[in-house]
Amino acid sequence: MNIIGPDYLVFGVDDIAACTEFLTAFGLEPVNLTENGGLFAALDGTGIIVRHKNDPDLPAALPNGAMLRQQVYGVRTDADIVAIADELAKDRKVHRLADGTIETTDDLGFALKFQITVRKQLDMPAEKINAPGAPAQRAPNELGVWDDMPAKPRTLSHNVLFVPDMEAATGFYCNRLGFVITDELQGAGPFLRPKANDDHHTLFFIRTPEHMKGMEHLAFHMGGPTELMVAGTRLMNKGFESFWGPGRHKFGSNWFWYFKSPLGCNVEYDADMDKHDDSWVARQRPISPEASQMFLLQFREKWIPGPGPKP
What's the one-letter identity of residue 226?
Answer: T
User: Mean pLDDT over residues 230-244, rounded?
Assistant: 97
The residues that bridge with 206 in the sheet, in sequence order, are: 162
Q: What is the pLDDT of residue 1?
A: 80
d(CA 51, CA 220): 20
User: Mean pLDDT over residues 163-189, rounded?
Assistant: 97
Return the number of other C-beta atoms located less than 10 Å from residue 105's C-beta: 17
Q: Is 98 exposed, middle or buried (0-12, 13-18, 19+ CB in 10 A)?
A: exposed
**Phi, psi angles (nearest 5°) of residue 79:** -60, -35
> Could you tell me the pLDDT band of residue 309, with boundaries at 50, 70 and 90?
low
Provide the 8-state DSSP code for 173: I
Mean pLDDT lowest for which of 129-138, 140-149, 294-303?
294-303
- What are the sequence ranges of the domains in the chain? 3-120+153-296
- Express each pLDDT in 113-123 by its tens digit: 999 999 999 99
Among the listed residues 278, 235, 228, 279, the one whose alpha carbon sits nearest the alpha carbon of residue 254: 228
| CATH number, domain 3-120+153-296, options 3.40.47.10, 3.90.1720.10, 3.10.180.10, 3.40.50.970 | 3.10.180.10
User: Mean pLDDT over residues 71-99, rounded?
Assistant: 97
What's the one-letter identity of residue 237?
Answer: N
pLDDT higher than threshold 70 for residue 311: no
Query: Do 260 and 243 form a contact (C-beta atoms < 8 A)?
Result: yes
User: Mean pLDDT over residues 30-44, rounded?
Assistant: 96
Among the listed residues 249, 193, 258, 178, the one whose alpha carbon sits nearest the alpha carbon of residue 6: 193
Element (H, E) at 242: strand 242-249
Query: 289: phi > 0 → left, psi -120 to 50 → alpha, else beta; which?
Result: alpha
Q: Report the predicted TM-score, pTM, of the whole model to 2 decimal places.
A: 0.95
Among the listed residues 64, 75, 67, the one whose alpha carbon sits nearest the alpha carbon of residue 48: 67
